[in-house]
Amino acid sequence: MAQYIEIKTANPGSLLFYRMGDFYELFFEDAELASRTLGIVLTKRGKHLGEDIPMCGVPVERAEEYLNRLIAAGHRVAVCEQVEDPAEAKRRGPKSVVKRDVIRLVTPGTLTEDALLDARRENVLASLARVKGGEGEDGYVYALAFADISTGSFRVAETEAGRLPADLARIEPAELLVADAIYDEPALRPLWRALPAVTPLPRESFDGAAAERRIAGFYGVATLDSFGSFSRAEITAAAAIVAYIERTQLGARPPLSRPQREASSEAMVIDPATRANLEILRTTTGERTGSLCAAVDRTVTSAGARLLARRLAEPLTDPARIARRLDAVEHLVDEAGLRAELRERLAGAPDLARALSRVALGRSGPRDLAAIGRGLAEGATIAGLIAASPAPEELTQAAGVLAGVDPELAAMLGAALADELPLNRRDGGFVRAGYSADLDATRALRDESRRVVANLERRYVEETGVRALKIRHNAVLGYYVEVSQQNADRLREPPFDVVFVHRQTMAGAMRFTSTELAELEAKIASAGERALGLEQRVFDELVATVMAHAEAIRACAEALAVIDVTAGLAKLAVDEMQVRPEVDGGLDFAIEAGRHPVVEQALRRDGGPFVANDCELSPPEKARSGRIWLVTGPNMAGKSTFLRQNALIAILAQAGAFVPARAARIGVVDRLFSRVGAADDLARGRSTFMVEMVETAAILNQATERSLVILDEIGRGTATFDGLSIAWASLEHLHEANRCRGLFATHFHELTALSQRLSRLVNATVKVKEWEGEVIFLHEVVPGAADRSYGIQVAKLAGLPPAVVERARAVLTELESADRAAPTQRILDDLPLFAALNRAPAPAAPAAKADPVAAAVKGALDSFHPDEMTPREALEALYKLKGMAKGG
C-alpha cells in the first residue's frame, strides 16, 4: 500500500491500474469509481488508518476492453506495471516488494491500440494556444495544433475567437489541451461543454519562449527553419502537443510528421450547428449510419475511410486543388478495369499508419510488422498498375510515393516473419524457419532434442568403434555415455581418454561424460529460453529497420489512402449516376436535377423513386450577387430535403467528389450556413426559439457574398406576427446586407410578396395535388408561391382523431375569412426597405398644427384648483370641460 500510495500521488487525476500478477488492481476512491463505471464487484483488501481499503480489479488479458469503457466515460488511466522479475525481489528478502512504475498514461487523445479506436475515424489530440497581439476584438491571436498519434498526422492553423467553434467542430478532437487561464474564462466555457474531453494544463506547457526549443528537441533538429514559417501562436500550440505526448508516453516517441501549416482560407467554414443540421459525419443521434459520410463511403481501407471523413469535414476553397481531385476521380470513372483492380489490391492492404505508430511506441506485435511488409508490397503493386497508363497528377504523385519505398524492406519482413503469427512478441514462434541459422539450431535443440542426441550417439559409435555405446539420461547425472565393462578400456585409451571423462562405475557398465555432451545438455536445458531470446533479438532488429524507414512508410500510408478515396468516389459516381461538377471562383450555383445523396439511397432500399429538382442561385444578368429562393409549400412535401440536398451537393463538389445531379456549376462557397430543424439547449437555459435566434444571428452576422445560406422556418417558434416580422427582416437582411446565395423555406406565405421589391428574390414552391379531399405530395420544386400549407391534411395523415381534424377545418375557415393580404401590401407600400433603414434615419414626422379646442381645455384645466372646490363646483367644472370638448 505504501508503494501504491506513492505512485498514485505522483499521478493525480488518473485512475491507477496497479499490476499485481494477472490483474490490474484499483484501490480506495479509484476502486469505487471504477466499480461504478465498469459494473464490476467492489471488494476490500487490508486496512488503512483503521478502515477497510476498497479494491476492484480487471484481468490483464481483458485490460483493453475495460480501458476503452473508462476512456469513453471521460477518465484518464495510469498503467502501472511490474518492472522487475518477482524472483529478483525475493533475493532482496522475503518481504521485498516487486518494483513497479507507470509506463504510460492513457487519455482519450493518446490511444493507439486497435481495440480502443474506431478504425474508420481519426483520434485527434488538439491544443489551443493564445498570444497577445491579434487584430480581433479581444486583442489575441489564437492557434490550434492537432495530431493523431495513432497515424502520425500533425497540423497547425491560426484561427480567431469567432471561428473557434467552427474549427473545433471540423477537427472533432477526442481531447483538447488548454491553458488553465483559458479554461477558466466564462466566455469560452460553452466551447468546452461541446467537447468530449478538455484537459487544462499549467501555464508552463504553453510557454512560448521554450516552444521552439521543445519542438526541435522532439524532432532532433537544431532549428525549425526547415519546417516552414509558423506564427508564435502556432509554435506554442504545437509545443503543447509535443510536451503532452512526451508526458503521457513516458519517453516513447510516436512517428509524428513534421507540423503542416494550414491557412484559414483553405477550407469551407462550417459551424457546429450546420454540421449537426446537415448530418455530415454523423446523424443528430450520433450514429454514422444515415449520415452523408456513410452514404458516400465506398472505401475499402480504414485509412481511406478516415481521409474521406476529413475531406467531407473540410471541403476545399481552391478551385485548382478541387479540379485536381476531380481529375483523378474522373480518370477512374472512365477506367473501370483499373478501378476494379486497384480496389481489389487495396482491400488486402492493412492499416500501415496505425501499425507504424504502435511499432514506434513499443506496443506492437509480430502482426504489426507483417502488416507493414504486406502493405508495402501491395503499395508497390498498386504503383505499377497506375504507372502502366497515363494518369492525372493526384494519382501519379501517390504512385510515385509508393514506388519510392525500398523494396528490400517488404522482402525482408516477408522473409523474416512466419505465415501464422502470434498476437504478442512474448509468445514467440513468429520468425520464419531459415531466416536465422542460430535460431534454427536452437529450435532444433528445443523441439528435436532426441534426434540431436541420437546424432551425437551415432557419431561417437563411429569414432570409437564401440557399437554398444549409448547416450542415456537420468535425473542425477543428466546426459551420460554408457558402455559395457569390456568396452570401457577403449574409452580410456588415447585419443579418447581426453574426450571422455569417467563419471560412474556400475556392476556391468561404466558411465562417462564429455565436454561436448555437457554443453549439449546445457543447450537443451535452456533451448526454449534461448530460442525466445533470439526471436526477441530478431524482432528488435526488424523494428529498428522499420523505424529507419518510418517517413517513407507514413508517406506510403497516406498515398494508399488517397488512392482508396479516389477509387471509392469513382465507384460511387458510377453506382449512383453522379456527374463531375464545374467548380470555379465565380458566384454561380446552378444544379440541374439535383438529388439528396442520403435520402435517395434510403428510398431506393424501400423501392421508391427520388424526384430530382433544379436549383438556380446564380446571379441574374448584370447582377453582382447570387439569388435567394423563397421556398413555400406544405409540410411533408420535401422542402427540407430540397434545402439540405443543395448544401450537401456543395460539400461534395468542394471535397472533390462527383455529385448527384444531371449537371452542376458551383462558384466556390467560402462559408456554409444551415438553420434547419428545432432543438433546445436547456443546459444553457436556451429554449427552442432562443437556439433558433442564436443560430440565425450567427448567420446574419457572418455570411458573405460567397456564402451559401440554408434557412428553414425562421420565426416559427414564437407568436405568428412576431415570427413573421423576424422572418421578414431576416430575409431582407440576407438580400441587402449579406448579399449571399440562399434558400429560405417558410410557411409565412406573406413573405412571397417581397419578390416585388427584392430583385434577386425568387419564389419557388413544392407542388402538391388534392384528390378527393386528400393531399398528394409530388416533391417537385417549381416557380411560384403556395397559398396553403395543408397542415390539417398532414395532421390527418399523422393520425389525429377525426373530431380534432374536423374542428381544425372549421376554425381554419373562420380565420381565412379575414383578408390577410391587405396588411402585407401596406407594409410593402409604406415601410422603407431594410437596407434603407440601415443607411439613413427615418424622416422626422411633420410638426402638428395648433388645435384651438385643445388649447382652451388646457387653459381651463390650469385654472382649476381641485383641493379648494366643493363637490358642486367640481361637477360644474366637468360639464364645462365637456362642453368645450364638443366645441361649445
Residues forming the annotated binding site for ATP? 633-640
Residue 130 is placed in which grid cell?
Answer: 493564445
The Cα–Cα gap between 315 and 583 comes to: 12
Q: Where are the alpha helices (DSSP H) in 448-514?
A: 449-464, 485-492
Say which residue the cell 504486406 belongs to. Answer: 374
The Cα–Cα gap between 386 and 558 comes to: 16
Q: Which of 424, 426, 422 is nearest to 532 (CA)?
A: 426
CB 649 within 8 A of CB 660: yes
**Amino acid identity, residue 308?**
L
The Cα–Cα gap between 754 and 13 comes to: 59
CB 704 within 8 A of CB 740: yes
User: For 882, phi and psi rounded to 5 degrees?
Assistant: -65, -40
Residues placed in the known binding site: 633-640
Say which residue the cell 455570411 belongs to. Answer: 703
Please tell me whether residue 541 adopts helix, strand or coil conformation.
helix
Rounded to 10 deg, the angle between the 28-38 and 63-72 helix axes is: 90
The Cα–Cα gap between 498 and 495 comes to: 6
CB 236 within 8 A of CB 129: yes
Q: Which residues contact 456 (CB under 8 A, 6 or more apart)?
A: 471, 516, 517, 520
Measured from the Cβ of residue 571, the count of other Cβ atoms closer than 10 Å reads: 20
Say which residue the cell 486496512 belongs to. Answer: 47
Residue-wise burial string across 408-426, b where 16 or more C-beta atoms lie within 10 A, e elsewhere: ebbebbeebbeeebeeebe
CB 374 within 8 A of CB 349: yes
Q: Looking at residue 482, what DSSP letter applies?
A: E
How much of the chain is helix, strand and coil, in % rounded to 5?
50, 20, 30
Q: Which of 508, 507, 509 is nearest to 481 (CA)?
A: 509
Q: Which of 323, 269, 316 is nearest to 582 (CA)?
A: 323
The Cα–Cα gap between 486 and 377 comes to: 65
CB 25 within 8 A of CB 56: yes
Task: Please give the angle made by the CA atoms of 203, 125 and 423, to the nearest 5 degrees.
Answer: 130
Please tell me whether residue 818 adopts helix, strand or coil conformation.
coil
Q: Which of 820, 824, 666 is nearest to 755 (CA)?
A: 824
Q: Which of 750, 745, 748, 740 is nearest to 765 (CA)?
A: 745
495: cis peptide before it, omega within 30°? yes
Burial of 117 (0-12, 13-18, 19+ CB in 10 A): buried
Please tell me whether residue 298 adopts helix, strand or coil conformation.
coil
| Paired residues of 594 in beta bridges | 613
| DSSP secondary structure of 660-676 | SSSEEEEEPPSEEEEE-
Q: Where are the alpha helices (DSSP H) in 576-628?
A: 597-605
Q: Which of 76, 79, 88, 65 is nearest to 25 (CA)?
A: 79
Q: Which of 588, 581, 590, 755 is nearest to 651 (CA)?
A: 581
Say which residue the cell 542460430 belongs to. Answer: 438
